[in-house]
Homo-oligomer: A and B are copies of this chain.
Amino acid sequence: MKTTIREIYKETEKYLNNEVVLEGWIRTSRSSKTFGFLELNDGTFFKNIQIVFEESLENFKEVEKLPLSSSIMVKGILVPTPEAKQPFEIKASEIEIEGYSTADYPLQKKRHTFEYMRTIAHLRPRANTFNAVFRVRSILAYAIHKFFQERGFVYVHTPIVTASDAEGAGEMFRVSTLDFHNIPMNDKKEIDFTKDFFGKETSLTVSGQLEGEAFALAYKDIYTFGPTFRAENSNTARHAAEFWMIEPEIAFADINDDMQLAEDMMKYIIKYVMENAKEEVEFFNSFVDKGLIERLENVVNSDFGRITYTEAVELLQKSGEEFQYPVEWGMDLQTEHERYLSEKVFKKPVFVVDYPKEIKAFYMRLNDDGKTVAAMDLLVPGVGEIIGGSQREERLELLEQKIIENGMDPEDYWWYLELRKFGGTKHAGYGLGFERAVMYITGMTNIRDVIPFPRTVKSAEF
């Protein structure tokens, strides 16, 4: 019967000693005069299945010369192989060639650098490492939806094209249909965006939070999961111009509820991936990041630490550690500080809360001390910051004042302010960079290697 490699590994008993039909791609091939072996992968499972074919096969000569990645249909009996590494193999009675490959197929047996693999992003999911990465990416995405939907959160598609700047921080991509050869100008010698598609200046969103807040104040619990964009000119292993973000927002909730949600979510999604991508996680643990499983289990099994920013600063100052950036109250914590806190002090994930208001965004709620805001970052061993969130300023006058202090125009935020006017409540939320989460769970260290077709400075291939 027609089946898949996943099916055969999951329900071996059902298929053993029966005839099966598989379709897939040849991963490796070797043969002698009278018989040959193929490793077949059909994309449904991380592991391959071994195909044995013998001289008696009608097209033996043709099959043994098939270039790697040729696609075939195999019919044969699944037999146990108690003496071999693999638990079973297929004795082929028929092999039909579906699509030929060529001798210059780029993914030959030898190892390639990740840099090279980026130049063949259309083929790299056929290689073990990337096959594992992108299946984990898919399963992780589903785990996130599952977590929130099971808790009754409403999934909101916040807009991608936007006329506002959620962070008030610039670095946005402009979206336009204006003719670049002939940009229209108005009387004041300004660009006449009324002629543009949307009738105003528009950009790609950097965050769906503000719109998410509007929905949280209708549904109580919501989340977004969509692409966001930063036109940041930083060519690092952790920055991409296009990345996906998850932003839950919860009403009738404060910063402590927010941290609890983040902790529950992290545990849930890691556990889900470990259970549903077992083979992939084991592969990463063996070949990409030796301590991976231990680190992930530590996250699932420990209560996350909590410390205020002020306590953290004192602790870092007294640590005796020589940091590249000396620690001082009022500064933003650097990755070296974040990692020291989670790896050396807590040895587990830790929330740092109540940051100086000057280094945080305008919408974060001012604490009673007048100096800090109810912001939280989740720091994890091996990475540093993975989640950033806050309780939102629900007090209309304070928010309005903050907008003005930040040199922004309250009129641009009329609807955001109205959320505080018409039955506002305390509410909070956070952002999880999806690619950071994929990197964390796979041990991959370059963001370009966890995005199917990455977009970075000077690169938008495929």
Please report A residues at the B interface, Cβ cutoff 8 Å. 4, 6, 23-26, 42-44, 69-71, 73, 98-102, 105-106, 120-123, 125-126, 131, 134-135, 137-139, 141-142, 145, 149, 152-164, 173-178, 180-181, 183, 191, 197-200, 202, 204, 211, 214-215, 217-221, 226-227, 229, 231, 233, 241-242, 244, 251-252, 394, 415-416, 418-426, 451-453, 455, 457-462
A273 to chain B, nearest CB (A): 13
Copies of this chain: 2
A159 to chain B, nearest CB (A): 5
A154 to B229, CA, bound (A): 24
A200 to B120, CA, bound (A): 19
Contacts of A198 in B (CB 8 A): 241, 455, 457-460
Contacts of A423 in B (CB 8 A): 25-26, 69-71, 99-101, 105
State whether A161 touches B244 (Cβ < 8 A): no
Contacts of A69 in B (CB 8 A): 422-423
A-B residue pairs in contact (CB < 8 Å), sample of 10: A135-B219, A138-B149, A138-B153, A139-B149, A158-B452, A160-B160, A161-B241, A161-B455, A173-B176, A173-B177
Beta-carbon nearest neighbor of A224 in chain B: B452
A235 to chain B, nearest CB (A): 12
Contacts of A106 in B (CB 8 A): 422
A211 to chain B, nearest CB (A): 6
Q: Contacts A178-B180, A197-B231, A460-B202 known; A451 to B122 CB distance under 8 Å?
A: no
Contacts of A211 in B (CB 8 A): 122, 452-453, 462
A162 to B200, CA, bound (A): 23
State whether A122 touches B425 (Cβ < 8 A): no
State whether B152 touches A44 (Cβ < 8 A): yes
Beta-carbon nearest neighbor of A218 in chain B: B125
Q: What are the 6 closest A-B residue pairs judged by CB atoms, nearest first?
A: A43-B220, A125-B218, A69-B423, A199-B458, A198-B460, A43-B219
Q: Apart from A43-B218, A43-B251, A197-B458, what are 5 other A-B pairs with CB-CB below 8 Å?
A: A23-B220, A69-B422, A101-B421, A105-B423, A211-B462
Contacts of A164 in B (CB 8 A): 462
